[in-house]
Amino acid sequence: MTIIKCPKCSESLNVKDSGVYNCPSCHSQFQYKHKKVSLLKAGKLKVKPSSIVSILFWSLSIIGIFIAQPLMILNFLGGILVILSALIIMPPVHRAYTKKFPIRLRYALIASFVIFLTGIVYGMNTWTNSNQYAHLNATQEQNKKLEEETNKRLNAELAQKEAEKREEEAKENALKEQSEKEALAMLIAEAKSINKDYPKEVDSVVTDVKGAQDANLKLINETQKVTDSNTNEEKTLTKLLDVISVVDGDTIKVSELGTLRLIGIDTPETVDPRKPVQCFGKEASNKAKSLLTGKKVRLEFDSTQGRLDKYGRTLAYVYTEDGLFFNKEMIEQGFAHEYTYSTPYKYQTEFKNAQKEAQEAKEGLWGAACKCEKGEEVSRSCTACNQATVKKSNWDCSTYSEKVASSSCSNKCATSTPVTPKPTSSFSCNCSKACTVIKSCAEAQYQLNTCGCKQRDADKDGIACDSAPLNCQ
């Protein structure tokens, strides 16, 4: 079997031997002899329906290629399918593979058509998805812009509220500062008026009212939050100030402010010229000096007590640099009494409890060192004419003696016979009569003043028999 081509239409034919043959495609007559083909009669070329369909699908494939071209970059598979369908149904390709493979034309057309449709559908689906993606992306961008605008608006509103809040706080702080300044100015004015008659040597403190005013005004806003290491309580204290000197147990001098009077405590006097030195005063002063001399301290003010006392001294609580609450320490160790001037103060209950514990433990001035009242008369005896020896107690209850003039000691005078006063009333002198026997306060006073019966005045206040049953006044 030999395959030859029609010289007219190039149709492939299978022949066995030499001879004359007719082409089924173009109806031409040709001769095959000695392996040569010669045309005897040319026929008319007819287009088969299958070729028309093939060309039609080939054209459609070309169109599909142009349609899918923009999508080929995004969808490589769709583009490959369209190109493959076009190649399969191209007449030259078709003739090639139909000669090489025993596949009929209709099967090739069906396969190429399916591939073509698959490519087109895939491309359209991709195009649709790309549109949906573009729409979704546009929606997301729009939502993002809307969210940004909303956030900007909310941030602007928040910033405006914060600004209004800061403005309100500034106004409140200004009003508070102004109120404190006015209150301080009133205290200073009062201190100035009092200090006109206040002796400068009292408590060995020279009070600079103007300096105290300026320093207090300066420190109004110079405070900071400090946590108490013992109670974990947050307190508002001043910056660290230097202790210039310790006047006594409850009065010190610090840098910038000058003289301080400690709130809530009172120590025995040692430097007031108007009063004698009191029991445990020197010990209290020495204790204060040991804790504060050369140290730095922070101050806490108390709005219930004001900033200045009537002498222009700053009122404050004192804390050492290591956190010791000095006011409370002096009470706990028995070096000071709890002291309320006029109105309750912040730590009043705490200080009262500390004093109660010190009393129970007999600490410091609550112990044996101050058991008695110094100078209290224990006994009296006549030692000379109009002179007596008086025995008095010390703070620790030991005694000392001193001689004093006494008109009741006339029995020691040169005249051995006592002078009997002329009777000027219905009463008579009788020092042996007790207050329980004397009938009236007038008689009792007569016995004391005229007769010199000192035993009628046990408390030495100049009033005879002022206890029961007469209760003279």
Active site residues: 261, 269, 313
Beta strands in 239-287 (DSSP E): 241-248, 251-254, 258-262, 265-266
Report the 10 Å Cβ neighbour count for 342: 7
Q: Within 13 A of 402's CA, how many CA atoms are on the CB side?
A: 8
From CA 453, how far away is CA 445, in angstroms rounded?
9
Provide the H-helix boundaries in 90-225.
91-100, 105-195, 209-219
30 bridge partner residues: 21, 39
Q: How far is CA 375 from the centre of its chain?
A: 56
What proportions of the chain, in percent to the nearest 5, are helix, strand and coil? 45, 20, 35
From CA 317, how far away is CA 75, in angstroms rounded?
84
From CA 242, how far away is CA 318, in angstroms rounded?
12
Q: How far is CA 437 from the centre of its chain?
A: 77
3-state secondary structure of 300: strand
Question: What is the β-pairing status of strands 2-5 and 29-33?
Answer: unpaired
454 burial (CB, 10 Å; 0-12 / 13-18 / 19+) is middle
Tokens representing 334 are 């028995």
Based on DSSP, count helices (H) and strands (E) in the chain, helices before strands.
9, 17
From CA 64, how far away is CA 78, in angstroms rounded?
10
The letter for the amino acid at 371 is K
From CA 228, how far away is CA 230, in angstroms rounded?
5
Provide the H-helix boundaries in 255-371.
281-292, 326-332, 348-360
